[in-house]
Structure 1
Amino acid sequence: MKTEWLRNTIKDFEPYYVAPIAEKYVINANENYFNVLSIPSLKKKLVEALDTFKPQIYPKPMADDLRKALAEYTGQAPENIICGNGGDEMITYLLGTFLNPGDTILVHTPTFDMYELGAETLGARTIKVRDLAGYRRDKEGILEAVKKYQPKVTVICNPNNPTGDLLPASFIEEVLKAADNLVFVDEAYMEFAQKESVLPLIKKYPNLVVLRTLSKAFGLAGMRCGYLAADKEIIDAIGKIKAPYNLNAFTQLFAPIVLKHREEILRVRDDIVKERNRLFDELVKIPGLTVYPSCTNFLLVQVESKHEEIFKALKAKDILVKIYRNSGELPNAYRITVTTRDVDDALLEVFRKELS
């Protein structure tokens, strides 16, 4: 293929790569270990709903029933919500709606790669504010950058992926006051943090856009159900570029049922938080290892030596973690999804043995 056929902004673009998986215990993608279909009443409701399911019919373009269910869960109006195939698609739609070539987005770093990658494909420029020591966000630096550059989109991942750091809603409100343009807050992991969401601020700040997902705490990563909440005019604008039938009918059928069973599902979330705290306490005891406090279902770990050896030893135990190779921002680091106690204990055994 001739490279000149490509759009200029993607000629040298490196896509987000997901390697093939062979391991039994996959704790590299922050998935929830809990299968919601193991809840008998939920499974019964789904089977009953399948009697009305017609796969030959196109799904509702705006996922009306799901929007109503999400509105009831979040306290927003249905017209303030737009749904899609996971958070990744919603990030793509948001940036694609508002970024022109040459525009700027502001991110703190390290953070989720898809913000910068999405902006890069559109010909936008990314301004970065590096974290402080210990991977705490530089709040003063972020505010100064917003005021100085007034980026088209300011991105705040909260809690942050991959560090687990949480910013208070009061700080995000400071950013909203300082920004003339959009402030995009990714709250994919907020259910694990169980802290103050900025969703209620949507009524007060028309430049606020919040991303949420059912992939993490609700265990629907395979169903691909993410959503944006914002002022109705922003939602309507994003709807201009949304594919007509972007969210499949089965997800639209299943997700509202899951939301009705959120009490049972979020009890599992509570168990994951307890196990995260236990795993953190055990990792802290291992010499030559640094583990960072987290408000999510994962932990960021750095080692002083034997970086690749530990990764290979984990793979030998059939455990796959997220490894950061040749990373100036995250040297000798792993991101570890919190899972069941037996898998976490096997992981601890590897770290203890390799770093002893």
Structure 2
Amino acid sequence: MFDINNILRENIKNLKPYSSARDEFQGEASVYLDANENAFGSPLEQQYNRYPDPLQMEVKKRLSDIKGVPTSNIFLGNGSDEAIDILFRSFCNPGIDNVILVPPTYGMYEVSANINNIAIQRMPLTTDYQLNVDGILNAINEHTKLIFVCSPNNPTGNSINRNDIETLLTSFNGLVIVDEAYINFSSQQSFIENLTQYQNLVVLQTLSKAWGLAGLRVGMAFASNEVIDVMNKVKPPYNINEASQQLALQALQNTEQVNSWIQEVLQERDKLIIQLQSLDFVLNIYPSDANFILVKTTDARGIYNFLVQHGIIVRDRSKVELCEGALRITIGKPEENSKLIETLKNFK
């Protein structure tokens, strides 16, 4: 039975969070003399002299409408990377606890674990890029606090079997983090709809991919009230700046544009796969539910260097476990995809 107090670090249980000036006052005032801001304004057309809402409530209200999740179940971070780091700092004791990773997967899980001095147990995916559920369950011990599952997975692009993730949720008394950065490009149902069913579920999403806001650095975590309360207690007081909040809120009004882009990406993905399959140095293109494809080739490094010489940048994943010989290629605009194919036709 999951109990957050069994995995929460003792120092976090006793942590008194920083109380900002804006935390202590609710509502509107005509004179603000509480936060040592510059009352004269900013040397910019847009005024940023006041600290932003520390809990980003207007953005969360809009996300609540879109996602169908109460604002109390939403955490916003400086990219999903901040949410990942806060989960480590909240629930994992340095030098004592461990987490389970399932490579090949998103590299920041390992980086955050190393930064926080948390041991890593690796349980590689199967050859068809699915979870080794029995291996994961056998690897769990009394010091295992977190399991990270990226679905659709980066760099492989495929969705992880839903039943396998649910098995982890029901069998593990720590947190299962399902990273859905690419969920907008997938027909797979989001695990957000299962938050009330699993108290140990954390779902990560982002505005960097389908929403086209990578430069603003706004990531989302969805979880139970008690997990979100812990994350809000640990985060810096003003972790999402005012410009990012305003622009994210503006962007979140344009769901039709985003949905249109998603459909175009999916169409371009299908076209690009067909075109790549005609090239003799392409050995395999793995199924993708993301805005990229993983392509196994006869000479990944040679192709990568050739493309760089022609001003085209893809990602060489050939040294990643289970991705030998593979390039990860993001789906671009039609003219970018066409340039990629025309250039590859000249590779010898």
Regarding TM over 0.5, the answer is yes
Q: Which has the larger share of helix?
A: 1
* Residue deviations 1:208-257 (CA, integer Å, cap 9, x gap): 00101010000000011101110000001111210000100011112122
Where 1:152 maps in the other structure, the secondary structure is: strand
1:143, CA displacement in angstroms? 4.2
Residue 258 of structure 2 is matched in structure 1 by 265
Larger Rg: 2
Distance 1:148 1:128, change over 3 A: closer
Structure 1 partner of 2:311: 318
Structure 2 residue 140 is the aligned partner of structure 1 residue 146: no
User: Which residue does 2:154 correspond to in 1?
Assistant: 161
Name the TM-score, length of structure 1 as normaliser: 0.80
Task: Indicate the residue corresponding to 1:42 in structure 2.
Answer: none
Of 275, 300, 305 in structure 1, the residue corresponding to residue 294 of structure 2 is: 300
1:142 aligned partner, one-letter code: V
Q: How many residues align?
A: 301
Q: 2:182 aligns with which of 189, 197, 205?
A: 189
**Any conservation in 1 of the 2:272–2:337 contact (CA below 8 Å)?**
yes
Deviates more, 1:315-324 or 1:292-301: 315-324
2:16 is aligned to: none
What letter corresponds to residue 133 of structure 1 in structure 2? T
Query: Does structure 2 conserve the Cα–Cα contact (< 8 Å) formed by 1:97 and 1:237?
Result: yes
**Aligned counterpart in structure 2 of residue 131 of structure 1, from 107, 125, 132:** 125
Match for residue 99 of structure 2? Answer: 105
Provide the C-alpha distance between the structure 2 equivalents of 1:67 and 1:143, rounded to a whole number of angstroms. 38
Give the Cα–Cα distance (whole angstroms) in 2 for the partners of residues 91 and 155 of structure 1: 10
Q: What residue identity is the alignment partner of 2:218?
A: C
- The SS at the match of 2:345 is helix
Matched residue, 2:60: 67
* Aligned AA (2:287): P
Distance 2:90 2:66 in 1: 26
Query: Post-superposition shift, 1:330?
Result: 2.5
Take 2:151 and 2:314, find their aligned partners in 1: how far apart are those partners? 22
Q: Percent identity?
A: 32
Instruction: Give SS of 2:327's match.
Output: strand
Matched residue type, 1:129: M
| CA-to-aligned-CA distance 1:112-147 (integer Å, 9 cap, x gap) | 11001111111111111222224x21x3x2344235
Indicate the residue corresponding to 1:84 in structure 2.
77
Counterparts in 2 of 1:272 and 1:76: CA distance versus 1, 3 Å: same
Instruction: Give me the whole-angstrom Cα distance separating, in 2, the residues matched to 1:124 and 1:99.
Output: 7
Write the letter of the residue equivalent to 1:180: N
Q: Are the counterparts in 2 of residues 299 and 336 from structure 1 also a CA contact under 8 Å?
A: yes
Report the Cα distance in structure 2 between the residues aligned to 1:327 and 1:170, rounded to whole angstroms: 26
1:207 to 194, 200, 205: 200
CA distance in 2, matches of 1:217, 1:314: 25
Give TM-score, length-normalised by structure 2.
0.82
Higher relative contact order (CA 8 A, sep 6+): 1
CA–CA separation in structure 2 for the residues paired with 1:90 and 1:81: 11
Q: Residue 147 of structure 1 contacts residue 179 of structure 1 at CA under 8 Å; is this kept in 2?
A: no
- Please state how far the C-alpha of 1:333 moved relative to its aligned partner: 2.1
Which of 292, 302, 305 aligns to 1:309? It is: 302
Q: How far does residue 302 in structure 1 lie from its aligned partner after superposition? A: 2.0
Shift in CA distance, 109/327, structure 1 to aligned 2, threshold 3 Å: closer
Of 244, 259, 268, which residue of structure 2 is paired with 1:251? Answer: 244
For structure 1, which runs of at least 5 residues remain unmatched after alignment? 1-50
The question of whether the paired residues in 2 share the 8 Å contact of 1:280 and 1:293 is answered with no
Partner Cα distance (1:195, 1:326) in 2: 29
Given residue 127 of structure 2, which amino acid in structure 1 is its aligned partner? A
- Work out which of the residue numbers 321, 329, 338 in structure 1 matches 2:331: 338
Q: What letter matches 2:133 in structure 1?
A: I
Where do 5+ consecutive residues of structure 2 fail to align?
1-43
Separation of aligned partners in 2, 1:76 and 1:95 = 24
Post-superposition shift, 1:319?
0.7
C-alpha distance in 1 between matches for 2:75 and 2:163: 25
Q: Is the 8 A contact 1:110 1:162 kept in 2?
A: yes
* Partner Cα distance (1:320, 1:148) in 2: 38
